[in-house]
Structure formats: structure tokens, C-alpha cells
Amino acid sequence: MKKRYVLAVVIILAMGMTACSFESREGAANGGTVDSSETIRAENTETKSEDTKTVDTEPIHEELAETDAAGSDEKEASDAVEISQGDPIVVIVDRYEDNIIVGRDIDDEAILYYFSTEDAEVIEGDSPITAGDIVEITYQGVQGDEEHPGTAVKVVAEAMMYSDLRSLEGSEQETSLAAYRQIVEESDAGMVFSLINLDGDEIPELAAGDRGDGRYSVYTIKDGTVFCLVDSMTTEELAYFERGGIIAVFSSWNGGGDEGGYGRQYYQIFADKTLADGDIPLLSYSYNAVYGEDGIYTGNGVTDYFYMGQESNESVYNEVLGTMGITEDGGRLCLENAVFAEEMLNILK
């Protein structure tokens, strides 16, 4: 956990700003309202890079188009959404050659995915990936089709998917981790779980998520008892900064991307407090595209910055980011190596 003197430094930095009354804006949850003598906005005059385009990160259940007009029942993910990088998808390998991997949806084998692995990290284990294997693919951009494959960032063979989690088995942590079993056993169907190192101690936290409705929770163990750090926060993706005690919530609106809106909120984790929807983040920003009177996108957008729920400026925002050790890569996804309940229960024995 970050020490209290770090927060003291942050507060002093904020108090050193020029005398401005800040106004809490809609979007910084429950931030209250005060008089504002100055609103500081950062006008974006260039179109943002592809890395900031993010929409719904649901990995596999998109509307799919039929590929064969002659009547084939196979489908491609040709209408797949574009994402910067979201939760990985798990597929059955149909074929893998010439740096192109074709996979079938594990729930509907009529659905095909096409990815280029030319620049991907491929983790195969003891034997190479072949047709019929189950693999996990993390990708960016679009899922792609046969003519224009998507871009795979990481491909992991089934035998290697949970190697990080399995390494915990037989360790001194095994007995203490068993306290998480009740959370997993009582979870709703479809929930997935991952062990993460959020606060830097020797006991990993349990992240739980329902990708269907975007609810995420995080648990830790205090004195042998499970304590909820994050309770059912609703977000498109929940990320964390390893050993930093910081989580990041991402959301988008109006279609997301440069022509819509999106934002990120950073929260600090405390051992004696449970975070939930509506809590005020430590830091946050929101971007909104600017449209003319004719309703046409101007090519510009406005980014607003907030500190402790009150409007701030980019300089203070970046200074606090650095003080808290928050990097621009957005952290790691909490469900990056997620498994279903049965697999997690085996790990927690």
C-alpha cells in the first residue's frame, strides 16, 4: 500500500496551485459542487492516436457475418469491434501457418477468427501449437477476417495459460489462499477469477469479474479473513498497477474514440476501506469530441482533468500521476489470466 506521506505530498502539491475554486463536474462520481472562478480545459487540436480508441471490450460475442453466400454455415468475426487491447479470447486452433492463426470460437465452432502472429509473443510450452489446440489470444485493433487478419499481441498455448497461477501451488501461500474458496464457491455462474499482486505484500489478491455485465470485485486477506477491497464496480475494464495499490477504471460513451467520449479514473486502495461505484477517484480525466453547429465532428476534442473530484489542470494531473507511480500504459488488466471457478478452486486447495 502507498504510505500516508505520499498522500501528504500530493495534497501539498494541490494547495500550491494558483487560487482557483474548482468545480466538480458530472462524470467525477459524487464529487459535489463548488463555485468555479476558472475552468481549465486542455484543447486537443490533433486527432488522438489509435491507442486511445476503445469501445466495449467483450472479447468474443459480437454480431458476426456469414462468409459463404452459397450457404456455408461458417461465420467470420468480420464486424468485430476495434479495441486498443482488451481481455484475451480463447479459441480452438483451426490452422496455424505462415504467421497466421485461424481459430474457432470455443462456444460456437462456426465462428472463425483470423490473426497475424508476426509481431506477437507466442508461448507454446513443450510442443508447438497445432490444429485442435486451445489457445488464448490477446489482440489489438480488430479481430479481422481472412483477407485482413487482426493483430495478435500474445498467443498462449493452453498448457501455459495458467502457469503463473499454478506456481503458487505447494508454496507457503497455499493455506492462506484457501480463504478465498468461499468467494469462488458462492459466485454466480459465468464469473471468472484471477490472482493479482495489487498491494505488494506476499499474499495475492483475488480479482473476480462478470464479463457479461462488467462488474468487478477485488478481495484480499487480513488476519486470515477475506476482506473486500473493490465491491462490484461497473466498468468496461478494470486494471491495476502491480504492487502499487492503484486500480484504474475505464469507460466510454457516445461511441467512444476520437469522435465520442471516454475517460479513466484512478483509485487508491486502502486495507480498511471498500471501494464501490460512486466513490470519488484520486485522479481522473474525461475526453469529449467537439461538434460544430452543423453536427459534424470538428476533428478536435476537449479533455478535462480532475483531482480528488475537483477540476484541475493537466500539469497537476501529470505531477500526481508521477508521484503515485502511475504509468501511461494503463496498468495490467485484472482478468488478464482469468480462469473459471472450477480451475480457481483447484488452485486454492
Tell me what the pLDDT averaged over the chain comes to: 77
Same domain, 277 and 178: yes
Which residue, of 161, 190, 212, is where some domain finishes?
Answer: 161
Residue pointed to by grid coordinates 462488467:
214
Is residue 317 assigned to a domain? yes
Same domain, 135 and 178: no
Is residue 228 assigned to a domain? yes
Distance CA 132, CA 129 (A): 9
The residues near 114 (Cβ < 8 Å, ≥ 6 apart) are 76, 100, 101, 102, 143, 144, 145, 146, 148, 149, 150
249-265: burial string, b at 16+ Cβ within 10 Å, e else? bbbbeeebbbbbbbbbb
Is residue 186 assigned to a domain? yes
Same domain, 74 and 157: yes
CATH number reported for the structural domain that contains residue 153 in this entry: 2.40.50
Q: How confident is the model at residue 85 (pLDDT cuts 50, 70, 90)?
A: low
Is residue 63 assigned to a domain? yes
Same domain, 216 and 97: no
Boundaries of domain holding 195: 165-347
Is residue 142 assigned to a domain? yes
Is residue 21 assigned to a domain? no
Percent of the chain's residues with pLDDT above 90: 46
Which residue, of 139, 161, 183, is where some domain finishes?
Answer: 161
Residue 217 has pLDDT above 80, yes or no: yes
Q: Are 169 and 192 in contact (CB under 8 A)?
A: no
Is residue 20 assigned to a domain? no
Percent of the chain's residues with pLDDT above 70: 70
Same domain, 221 and 183: yes
| Tens-digit pLDDT profile for residues 26-83 | 333 333 333 333 333 444 434 444 443 333 434 433 333 344 444 444 555 544 444 4
Same domain, 114 and 202: no
Residue 2 has pLDDT above 50, yes or no: no
Which residue, of 113, 142, 161, is where some domain finishes?
Answer: 161
| Tens-digit pLDDT profile for residues 153-190 | 889 887 676 555 544 444 444 446 899 999 999 998 88
Helix 4-15, helix 314-323: angle, nearest 10: 160
Same domain, 86 and 188: no
pLDDT, mean of residues 268-290? 94
Is residue 311 assigned to a domain? yes
Q: Which three cell numbers stand for residue 55?
A: 469501445
Q: Percentage helix, strand, coil, to 5, in the chain?
A: 15, 35, 50
Same domain, 186 and 301: yes
Same domain, 151 and 266: no
Same domain, 303 and 322: yes
Q: How many domains does the chain have?
A: 2
Same domain, 250 and 156: no
Same domain, 91 and 230: no
83 DSSP 8-state letter: B
